[in-house]
């Protein structure tokens, strides 16, 4: 274990990216960042090392000397054969989104609500869900929401903040005849908002043994080909998970783009193979037909040769008849292919 002073850690963090420090010591880059914050040590901003690679110099803020807290930290060197635990792409994106200045804080009351929120609020005050007792729903073509009346305000504040965050990141929140969609580039991600339910046995309803009743726990769901759900947890409310939600939606869009690109390439390859196979089958039929014609012509040529040999062997043939017979041999022969007034191609095929 090595003890570093606050000044030494300050120098270290401005000489090496935190990912490099994590490789050297048994600590993650996130853990080292937290250590610096605890010691009131200024750290480079996200993207600063990329600027260094591009030839720019870092602006290094001064280390505060009026610090009254802990002045050192102890770190273990990482063995050469011990790998650094990789941070997932989602975790990196969550951290990136959380650092950006977006309206992540869900307010205590609605402030300049989006027009979609206004329409949803009116529907939720009127429409009940016949399939879920104690629940209200929005009308078709509006925000896709189903909650208990007691959670309408909380739901609308969350959805208003979410929509504003989505648009602040340059994406769209749109509603079509089928669903609510967060649109990232050209990818549509279907989403909805639900209050979770518990199953209850009922005794006073004919043809129904159970019904689903709200339990107060709210959830926002990604309900496309890729699925995810964020809900109230024991240690974290749904409102505090907006960075995670936005990061997951962006990652889901990227994964969907990759999936569609693979599907496109697979389709192109399949079409190419299909065309190649179709062309081969056509060529094969042409070869078969050509070969059959070749055999037929060879047979006719052989028969014509047989006729000529026969005619040559006849002693003292009638001149007119021998001329007629030689003409028939020339007609049969595919090489000479002489026209005959009385015999046709069908006659050749019948031989």
207 burial level (CB within 10 Å; 0-12, 13-18, 19+): exposed
* pLDDT tens for each residue of 160-218: 999 999 999 999 999 998 899 999 999 999 999 999 988 877 777 777 777 778 888 99
Asked whether residue 132 falls in the same domain as residue 32, the answer is no
Query: Does 301 have pLDDT greater than 70?
Result: yes
User: Are residues 121 and 251 located together in one domain of the fold?
Assistant: yes
Residue 13 lies in a domain: yes
Q: Are strands 180-184 and 187-201 parallel, antiparallel or unpaired?
A: antiparallel
Please check whether residue 333 lies inside any domain of the structure: yes
Which pLDDT value is given to residue 85? Answer: 62
Place of tokens 């890729």: 226
**Does residue 223 form part of some domain?**
yes
Q: Which DSSP string do the residues of 206-231 spell out, in sequence order?
A: TT-SEEEEEEEEEEEEEESSSEEEEE
The last residue of a domain, from among 257, 279, 313: 257
Which residues are registered as beta bridge partners of 218? 195
User: Pick the residue with more confidence: 173 or 95?
Assistant: 173
Q: Report, as an integer, the average pLDDT of 321-343.
A: 95
On whether both 127 and 243 belong to a single domain, the answer is yes
Residue range(s) defining the domain that contains residue 329:
296-350
What pLDDT does 23 receive?
86
The chain-wide mean pLDDT, for the chain, equals 91
Q: Residue 232: inside a domain, yes or no?
A: yes
Q: Which of 202, 235, 257 is the last residue of a domain?
A: 257
Whether 172 is in a domain gets the answer yes
Supply 155's token pair.
């739901």
Whether residue 243 sits in one domain with residue 313: no
Shared-domain flag, residues 314 and 243:
no
Tokens read off for 113: 């609500």
Indicate if 75 and 143 belong to the same structural domain: no
Same domain flag for 127 and 246: yes
Domains held by the chain: number: 3
Q: Do 119 and 83 sit in the same domain of this protein?
A: no
- In-domain check, residue 50: yes
User: What DSSP letter does each residue of 58-71 carry, written as one string?
Assistant: P--PPPPS---S--
Do residues 135 and 217 both lie within one domain?
Answer: yes
> pLDDT-based confidence at 86, cuts 50/70/90?
low
Two tokens, residue 264:
């496109």
Q: pLDDT for 119-161, tens place per residue?
A: 999 999 989 987 788 899 999 999 999 999 999 999 999 999 9
Q: Are residues 321 and 251 in the same domain?
A: no
DSSP helix/strand/coil, 195: strand
* Same domain for 173 and 127: yes
212 and 341, same domain (yes or no): no
How far is Cα 200 from Cα 197, in angstroms, rounded to an integer?
9
pLDDT tens digit string along 19-53?
889 888 888 888 888 999 999 999 998 778 888 88
pTM (two decimals)? 0.62
């Amino acid at each position: 274990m090595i003890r570093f002073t606050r000044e030494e850690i300050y120098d270290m963090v401005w000489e090496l990216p935190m990912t490099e420090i994590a490789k050297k010591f048994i600590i993650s880059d996130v853990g080292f960042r937290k250590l610096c914050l605890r010691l009131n040590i200024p750290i480079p901003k996200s993207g600063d090392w990329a600027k260094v690679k591009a030839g720019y110099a870092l602006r290094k803020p001064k280390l505060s000397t009026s610090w009254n807290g802990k002045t050192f930290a102890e770190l273990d060197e990482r063995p050469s054969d011990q790998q650094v635990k990789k941070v997932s792409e989602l975790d990196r994106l969550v951290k990136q989104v959380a650092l950006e200045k977006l309206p992540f804080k869900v307010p205590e009351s609605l402030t300049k609500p989006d027009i979609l929120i206004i329409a949803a609020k009116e529907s939720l005050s009127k429409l009940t869900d016949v399939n879920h007792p104690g629940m209200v729903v929005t009308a078709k073509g509006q925000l896709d929401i189903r909650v208990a009346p007691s959670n309408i305000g909380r739901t609308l504040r969350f959805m208003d903040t979410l929509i504003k965050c989505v648009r602040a990141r340059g994406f769209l929140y749109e509603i079509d005849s089928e669903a609510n969609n967060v649109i990232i580039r050209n990818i549509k991600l279907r989403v909805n908002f639900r209050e979770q339910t518990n199953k209850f046995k009922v005794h006073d309803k004919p043809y129904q043994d159970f019904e689903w009743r709200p339990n107060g726990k709210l959830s926002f769901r990604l309900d496309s080909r890729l699925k995810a759900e964020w809900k109230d947890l024991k240690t974290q409310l749904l409102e505090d998970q907006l960075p995670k939600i936005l990061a997951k939606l962006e990652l889901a869009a990227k994964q969907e783009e990759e999936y569609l690109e693979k599907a496109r390439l697979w389709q192109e390859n399949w079409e190419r193979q299909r065309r190649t196979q179709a062309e081969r089958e056509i060529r094969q039929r042409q070869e078969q037909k050509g070969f059959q014609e070749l055999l037929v012509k060879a047979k006719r040529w052989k028969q014509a040769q047989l006729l000529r040999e026969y005619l040559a062997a006849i002693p003292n043939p009638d001149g007119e008849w021998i001329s007629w017979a030689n003409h028939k041999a020339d007609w049969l022969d595919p090489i000479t292919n002489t026209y005959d007034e009385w015999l046709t191609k069908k006659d050749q095929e019948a031989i």
